Structure 1
Amino acid sequence: MRLTNVSQMQVQPGRLLTYSVTARAAEPPERLPLSFDQDRHVGLGSRPGSWMAVAFHLPVQAERETIAQAWLHVISRHGTLRTVFTKKQNDAAAPPAATPERDQQAGDQHCGGPQTDLQLSSVQIEPGTWEELTGQSPEAIRAILRAHFDAVCQSFNAPSHRLCLIEDPASARPAQVIIGSDHAHVDAWSLLVLARDLAHCVADLLEGHPPGVDLPPAESFASHSRHLANRPAPPPEVVARWREILEAGGGAMPTFPLDLGDISQPVEERVEIRDVFDAEELAAVEAHAKEHSVRLIAVAVSVMTRLAGELSGEPFRAVFPVHSRDDQRWYNSVGWFITNSALENDDAGYQSSYAAVKEAIRLGSYPLAPIMRTYGGMPQVPGMFAMSWLDHRKLPVNVAQDLNPQHVSAVIHTDGVMIWFVINETGLHLRCRYPDTRQARRSMRTWLAGLVYGLRAPLEQLALREIKGTAR
């Protein structure tokens, strides 16, 4: 799956349609636990650009009503797609808790404490209607799709997800599907689950089978939030390590080490994509990493550690998202199964870099709420720097490349830097989002050039080794 954004995604020409379902209060009403990240994200309020989407082509031709029926079944599989966020009113007006009081209190603590003014409730989803949106050219479709998802996929919408189709009447090609959702309900892994489930259910309906009958069970994300809330408190050494990391950042999460200009307020984003390795080159660099008893991610951290030291004189420090699907029962579920960790390294050696990755994964294996409560939530300042590592080859859920799957981000204003490393059978590419200021463009040009050069350096070493071997 290629990572892109709505202004750069690949779309086929044709008619853009949207399918809007109806959400009604569940009977009986049910209050569900919020996760720490849901509380942070939704607490910022409804706003454009809080969504993410998956785009892909169906493997077969299907009528739009068949696609709608399959989508309704997908919604029925995944509990988070049948929940909505609201502001708390008063205790008398709030729906009763669906769990024992002890579990509800744990859920409140997990989302940052009972002081949160948010609540998450289940809803019933009923069939909707198709509406055609204007626009035929790819440029028009991208603009309309962006405005549409900005409007309908906001945190407090009910529901905050939407199914869209692009039908090309001039071609026999199957429809292109785009599913958008507020980020509070999905992560990158979830996008793969949604694409797989919808394609599978459409095929079942066309073959006369019950939709999704062969799909594995999908436990709800609310169950996962409750599971995390009931885990033991993090050990003292983990809390102490987080304190060290935040103190090193001046009381906040890690920031990008180079000048980003005036980012006292978020500014328009700039997005750059670099194709780093093809499949053959990827295999060669992975073999190089294996020779040094590490994985490819250690090579990347080594390169960035060297860059940080040479360009800023500081250790490499970055926010490091880690998935929290710590059991197979969550592998086929849709939700925001991500927690944030921090990666810190001051030694560019492969072993040190790999040890830093392992430490970050360990830090990310504990719920953040009890750790961050002392700081009033996760403390961040303008310039926050994050790196994400996603190897699609190692996920238990995937989408065939011939369906042209795309992870589509919104276009936003930002005051931070985010780099995604995305790996699949075709190779490795990276995507970088940063503030579009003069200083940031200059800094990121240097950083990205150094990063790509450093990642490809083992290929030059291997080529020299082959030349020397041939000369002998």
Structure 2
Amino acid sequence: MRLTNVSQMQVQPGRLHSCVVTATPEDTERLPLSFDQRRHVSFGSRPGSWMAVSFRLPHPTGLEQIAEAWEHVLGRHGTLRSVFTCSEGSGDQGHPEVTGEKGAQLRLNRVEPTESQWETLARDAGPAEIRATLRELFDVACDPFAQPSHRLCVVEPSPVEAPPAEQGAEPASGRQRQAPVEQGPQIIIGSDHSHVDAWSLLVLIRDLTSCLEDLDAGRPLGARLPEAEPFSAHTRHMAAKSAPPEEITTRWREILDAGGGAMPNFPLNLGDLSTPAQEVVEVRDVFDAEELAFLEGHAAEHGVRLIAVAVSVMTRLARQLADQPLRTVFPVHSREDPRWFDSVGWFITNSVLENDDDSYAASYRTVKEAIRLGSYPLGPIMEPYGGMPQEPGTFAMSWLDHRKLPVNVAEDLHPQHVSAVIRTDGVMIWFVINDSGMHLRCRYPDTRQARRAMRTWLAGLVYGLRAPLEAG
């Protein structure tokens, strides 16, 4: 799966449709909020809080079939049948799912979506128009407080004529003009981040395509799919965990204190970040499949995994360019048990990674420590700070190896992980690995200082990652 954003994603020309469902919250069943959901949604309505996935079906498929399959997928995943509301505090202040901020109450309620209806957003549109329309739609339909905060769209492709027959060849039908080539539609599913993570996007593709295959074969929808536990059950499971041991809270405190009482910041100058700036997004191809196999073998020879090589390179960069240890936010998933593997939800929480020894062994120990630091509920850890302390300039790295996931999708579906276009005041680097190799995606603020700093950092990062190849 390629990681991109809505302004750069690959889109086929055609007719753009939106599958509309509505969901009105009922004050009946209140669901628990995870620490990360509460933090994300408490920032309020804003454009760009969503993420999306795009893929192409292998053959023509009608809108009604897609809608029927999508309604079944919605029924499988509890988080897609829940909505957030926020109201001024008026009693019930002791409820555990209340933010407590300025008297506002943040709630998550179970809902039952209505039957879907299609609306056409663009006819015979080119890729640029479709991308702009998707961005505008998802910024509204996938708002944290939208009801529901997800939307499925379909691009029915414009007819594509087959290539002309070779000169002198007899047309099969006696006509000079060839029949249009039949193409499958492109499906784009957007959702507010509070309900999905990168793993969830793969689950959505698998579930929807499986249900469409069931329709074609006359099978009951979802007959071949495993049971999907609701994300709310995972939230309750995490809340029931015992308090983190003292060594965990102490290590968190050490890393936060080293960053001035906040989550780690990027070590180089990013310029004026008093207000978020328009984002710059860069994608760098690092390894093809053969080179990736060589680097993984190189890591294995040193008793580590490839991620340790990446951490080693960045540790060296931080010391060479800023004379400080590598400190970065490091998202980790909490799908510790197979019961969560087939669920949709935000099973990601933030950890922190700190390293000042660029040896592979030390870098690998640092990764293991970061995973352990992120394996405990963050609420008790962050309580002394009044929540997760974050300042402009935050630095985060994400490691996405799609080959290691128990849920994956075929590359011939042309899957794309699509991010929103946002304003930002921090740096995030995604390392994305699949069967075709590794690429990096980096997002940073569009300031003169940040552009210069990131050119230096990314060039050094790619060079360092490829150095073992050059050494043979």
Instruction: Calculate the TM-score normalised by the size of structure 1.
Output: 0.93
**Does 2:140 correspond to 1:151?**
yes
What is the alpha-carbon distance in structure 1 between the residues aligned to residue 219 and residue 243 of structure 2? 47
CA deviations over 1:405-430 (Å, ceiling 9, x no partner): 00000000000000000000000001
SS in 2 for 1:428: strand
- The structure-2 alpha-carbon separation of the partners of 1:122 and 1:36, relative to structure 1 and needing over 3 Å to count, comes to same
Q: Amino acid of the residue matched to residue 6 of structure 2?
A: V
What is the alpha-carbon distance in structure 2 between the residues aligned to residue 431 and residue 349 of structure 1? 25
What is the alpha-carbon distance in structure 1 between the residues aligned to residue 89 and residue 104 of structure 2? 13
1:121 pairs, out of 77, 100, 109, with 109
Identify the residue that residue 51 of structure 2 maps to in structure 1: 52
Tell me by how many angstroms 1:160 deviates: 0.4
SS in 1 for 2:28: coil
Spell out structure 1 runs of 4+ moving beyond 4 A.
89-94, 111-116
Identify the residue that residue 81 of structure 2 maps to in structure 1: 82
Tell me by how many angstroms 1:134 deviates: 2.0
2:120 pairs, out of 132, 138, 152, with 132
SS in 2 for 1:440: helix
Q: Amino acid of the residue matched to residue 138 of structure 2?
A: F
Identify the residue that residue 458 of structure 2 maps to in structure 1: 448
Tell me by how many angstroms 1:126 deviates: 1.4
Identify the residue that residue 171 of structure 2 maps to in structure 1: none
Contact 2:328 2:395 in 1 (8 A): yes
Contact 2:25 2:83 in 1 (8 A): no
Tell me by how many angstroms 1:88 deviates: 3.8
What is the alpha-carbon distance in structure 2 between the residues aligned to residue 410 and residue 193 of structure 1? 20
What is the alpha-carbon distance in structure 2 between the residues aligned to residue 417 and residue 363 of structure 1? 21
Tell me by how many angstroms 1:461 deviates: 1.1
Identify the residue that residue 324 of structure 1 maps to in structure 2: 334
Tell me by how many angstroms 1:127 deviates: 1.0
Root mean square deviation, CA, Å: 1.7
1:123-202 to structure 2, matched below 5 A, reads 123-134=111-122, 136-171=125-160, 172-202=182-212
Greater shift, 135-144 or 381-390, is seen at 135-144
What is the alpha-carbon distance in structure 1 between the residues aligned to residue 212 and residue 392 of structure 2? 44
CA deviations over 1:438-465 (Å, ceiling 9, x no partner): 1000000000000000000000111xxx
Tell me by how many angstroms 1:297 deviates: 0.2
**Does 2:234 correspond to 1:219?**
no
What is the alpha-carbon distance in structure 1 between the residues aligned to residue 249 and residue 104 of structure 2? 23
Identify the residue that residue 413 of structure 1 maps to in structure 2: 423
CA deviations over 1:324-344 (Å, ceiling 9, x no partner): 111101000000000100000
Q: Amino acid of the residue matched to residue 80 of structure 2?
A: L
Tell me by how many angstroms 1:64 deviates: 0.3
1:12-411 to structure 2, matched below 5 A, reads 12-26=12-26, 29-90=28-89, 105=96, 117-134=105-122, 136-171=125-160, 172-411=182-421
Contact 1:80 1:185 in 2 (8 A): yes
What is the alpha-carbon distance in structure 2 between the residues aligned to residue 62 and residue 195 of structure 1? 15
SS in 2 for 1:80: helix
Q: Amino acid of the residue matched to residue 130 of structure 1?
A: W
Q: Amino acid of the residue matched to residue 23 of structure 1?
A: A
Tell me by how many angstroms 1:66 deviates: 0.5
> What are the ranges of 5 or more consecutive residues in structure 2 without an aligned counterpart?
161-181
Q: Amino acid of the residue matched to residue 232 of structure 1?
A: S
What is the alpha-carbon distance in structure 2 between the residues aligned to residue 81 and residue 299 of structure 1? 38
What is the alpha-carbon distance in structure 2 between the residues aligned to residue 9 and residue 329 of structure 1? 33
Contact 1:279 1:426 in 2 (8 A): yes
CA deviations over 1:305-335 (Å, ceiling 9, x no partner): 0000000000001000000111101000000
Greater shift, 412-421 or 142-151, is seen at 142-151
Query: Among the aligned pairs, what percent are the same residue?
Result: 66
Contact 2:89 2:103 in 1 (8 A): no
- The structure-2 alpha-carbon separation of the partners of 1:20 and 1:322, relative to structure 1 and needing over 3 Å to count, comes to same
Identify the residue that residue 7 of structure 1 maps to in structure 2: 7
Q: Amino acid of the residue matched to residue 149 of structure 2?
A: S
Q: Amino acid of the residue matched to residue 81 of structure 2?
A: R
Aligned residues: 450
What is the alpha-carbon distance in structure 1 between the residues aligned to residue 114 and residue 18 of structure 2? 15
- The structure-2 alpha-carbon separation of the partners of 1:349 and 1:401, relative to structure 1 and needing over 3 Å to count, comes to same
What is the alpha-carbon distance in structure 2 between the residues aligned to residue 289 and residue 114 of structure 1? 51
Tell me by how many angstroms 1:113 deviates: 9.9
SS in 1 for 2:115: strand
Contact 2:33 2:235 in 1 (8 A): yes
What is the alpha-carbon distance in structure 2 between the residues aligned to residue 50 and residue 113 of structure 1? 20
Q: Amino acid of the residue matched to residue 256 of structure 2?
A: L
SS in 1 for 2:113: strand
Greater shift, 57-66 or 45-54, is seen at 57-66
Q: Amino acid of the residue matched to residue 148 of structure 1?
A: L
Q: Amino acid of the residue matched to residue 40 of structure 1?
A: R
Contact 1:17 1:131 in 2 (8 A): yes
What is the alpha-carbon distance in structure 1 between the residues aligned to residue 265 and residue 415 of structure 2? 32
CA deviations over 1:281-309 (Å, ceiling 9, x no partner): 00000000000000000000000000000
Contact 1:419 1:430 in 2 (8 A): yes
CA deviations over 1:29-64 (Å, ceiling 9, x no partner): 210000001111100001110000000011332110
Contact 1:70 1:202 in 2 (8 A): yes
Contact 1:50 1:154 in 2 (8 A): yes
Q: Amino acid of the residue matched to residue 249 of structure 2?
A: V
Tell me by how many angstroms 1:213 deviates: 1.1
Q: Amino acid of the residue matched to residue 7 of structure 1?
A: S
- The structure-2 alpha-carbon separation of the partners of 1:25 and 1:371, relative to structure 1 and needing over 3 Å to count, comes to same
What is the alpha-carbon distance in structure 1 between the residues aligned to residue 90 and residue 75 of structure 2? 29
Contact 1:320 1:342 in 2 (8 A): yes
Q: Amino acid of the residue matched to residue 18 of structure 2?
A: T
SS in 1 for 2:133: helix
What is the alpha-carbon distance in structure 1 between the residues aligned to residue 49 and residue 23 of structure 2? 20
Contact 1:112 1:373 in 2 (8 A): no
Q: Amino acid of the residue matched to residue 242 of structure 2?
A: P
What is the alpha-carbon distance in structure 2 between the residues aligned to residue 333 and residue 16 of structure 1? 28
